Amino acid sequence: MAQANQIVVWGNLTRDPELKFFENGNSVCNTGLAINKKWTSPDGAEKESTEFLDLAVWGQMGENVAESFGRGDRVMVVGSLKINRVDKDDGSKAQYPEISVEEIGATVRWATTVVKKNEKGSSTGAKSSQPPEEVF
């Protein structure tokens, strides 16, 4: 049976996108996403929750994100979910969800946007839109 890992979310960027270039020419743009949810419980109480996800956007698309978006911008994201597990300094373990972004764009529910297409072949050095096989 085939496995699938596809996620579609929308929310607001929690920090300005940060673009990094590697020695091999690949690039990645990292930022965060807050997903806010509000609802009314059966007893009439107003409820609210917020989930936070990290985003990794590779290659030319990441460069476009770094140039196009900033903290607070509302975006829709399609990608695959990855859970990063790390050992903290105190010996405990932590998990951080991250989306490897396949598509991202501004939502126009509460805003307007202008699309500016890249010129063909205008990549500024990114060789791949996929994450590298090895960890840098």
Please give the share of the chain, as a percent, with pLDDT higher than 70: 86
Mean pLDDT for 106-133 is 71
pLDDT digits (tens, 9 = 90+) for 49-102: 999 999 999 999 999 999 999 999 999 999 999 999 999 999 999 999 999 999
Task: Examine residue 60 and state whether it is found in any structural domain, yes or no.
Answer: yes
* Average pLDDT of every residue of the chain: 88
pLDDT for res 46: 95
Structural domain tally of the chain? Answer: 1
Is residue 133 predicted with pLDDT exceeding 70? no
Query: Running DSSP on this structure, what letter comes out for residue 90?
Result: T
Task: Examine residue 36 and state whether it is found in any structural domain, yes or no.
Answer: yes
Task: Examine residue 128 and state whether it is found in any structural domain, yes or no.
Answer: no
Q: What is the pTM of this model?
A: 0.79
pLDDT band at 130 (very low <50, low <70, confident <90, very high): low
Task: Examine residue 14 and state whether it is found in any structural domain, yes or no.
Answer: yes
pLDDT for res 75: 97
Is residue 134 predicted with pLDDT exceeding 70? no
Residues 16-41: b if buried by 16+ CB within 10 A, e if exposed: ebebeeeeeebbbbbbbbeeeeeeee
Task: Examine residue 63 and state whether it is found in any structural domain, yes or no.
Answer: yes
Task: Examine residue 1 and state whether it is found in any structural domain, yes or no.
Answer: no
Q: Dihedral angle at the C-alpha atoms of 83, 90, 18, 97, nearest 10 degrees?
A: 20
In the numeric block, which tokens belong to residue 29?
A: 């743009």
CATH of the domain at 98: 2.40.50.140
Task: Examine residue 79 and state whether it is found in any structural domain, yes or no.
Answer: yes
